[in-house]
Amino acid sequence: MRKTLFTCLALLLPVLPLLAQSSFVKPVIFGLKGGLNASFFTKDVDLFDPASSGNDPSFRRFLRAAAFAGITVDYMVGERFSVGAEVLYNARGMAYRQKNNSVIMIGQNGAEQAYNYFKYKVDYLELPLTAGYNVLPVASDNWLTGYVGLAPAIAINKAVKLDYPKPNAGPWEGQADKSGNLDGVRTFNTSMLAGIQFGGVPSFVGAYADLRASYTLFPVFTENNSLSGNNLNTRMLSFSFGIGLKF
């Protein structure tokens, strides 16, 4: 009996590390993530297009910085390969700046240039679908995954806002900011995306960082030109940095 017991133990010893390792491998991993986007139109649009009639040469392009947040789920196809899905609220868009010579701004060095800011706000509900590969050793406590995918999206907020400078000299209070609906935005769009994630293996909860770039497959607007004939045929490019938890 004792000899049989020792024989069984001897046969099990090489297998125990594999059993211990597999007990900590989670085939399905859920998570939360959030962060900041920097997005812009790939071409100047409508009145901001230098080729448009009546264009103000003082216009300058700027990124729109906005937030995103959502939930994630990853399925481990193998030790290194994974597929994932996310549900994100993703605020994107574009910004333009125009000189305003009617407003006096006084800074530490005297008079300063004042600016109007035009903001295109196009916020999406996205469903990114990804495939990733972990380049670090399987036994490592960390993972570094490169991934690619597609992100179908629905535009749930389409707005434009004009922010006027607020004078800090003189009796004039300046103009009130204006906002309204942004017409002609494509409701359904899809983006190509690629990125990298780095984090700790979640024995219970693991933190990670995410860098991503995405590009819309279809133009942001449904028409190539506005009613005045100005350009509307532009895509959107976004770069994002996020942090999250997986458990």
Which range has the worst mean pLDDT, 2-6, 44-48, 149-153? 2-6
Q: How many domains does the chain have?
A: 1
Residue 6 belongs to a domain: no
What are the Cα distances from residue 215, in Å, to 115, 122, 177, 190, 236?
Answer: 29, 14, 30, 8, 6
Residue 3 belongs to a domain: no
Nearest residue to 221 (alpha-carbon basis) of 244, 188, 178, 172:
188
Which range has the worst mean pLDDT, 22-31, 183-192, 207-216? 22-31
Residue 8 belongs to a domain: no
Q: Can you give the C-alpha Rg of the chain in angstroms?
A: 26
Residue 225 belongs to a domain: yes
Residue 4 belongs to a domain: no
Residue 172 belongs to a domain: yes
Average pLDDT of the chain to the nearest whole number:
87
The pLDDT value recorded for residue 4 is 43
Residue 12 belongs to a domain: no
Nearest residue to 149 (alpha-carbon basis) of 133, 137, 136, 132:
132
Of residues 193 and 4, more confidently modeled:
193
**pTM (two decimals):** 0.83
* pLDDT tens digits, one per residue of 71-120: 999 999 999 999 999 999 999 999 999 998 888 787 777 788 889 999 99
29 pLDDT more than 80: yes
221 pLDDT more than 60: yes
Element (H, E) at 66: strand 64-76
Residue 80 belongs to a domain: yes
Tokens representing 66 are 């906005």
User: Residue 44: which residues within 8 A CB-CB, separation 6 or more?
Assistant: 50, 59, 61, 231, 234
Nearest residue to 72 (alpha-carbon basis) of 122, 32, 12:
32
Which CATH number does the domain housing residue 174 bear? 2.40.160.20
Q: Which domain holds residue 185?
A: 25-246
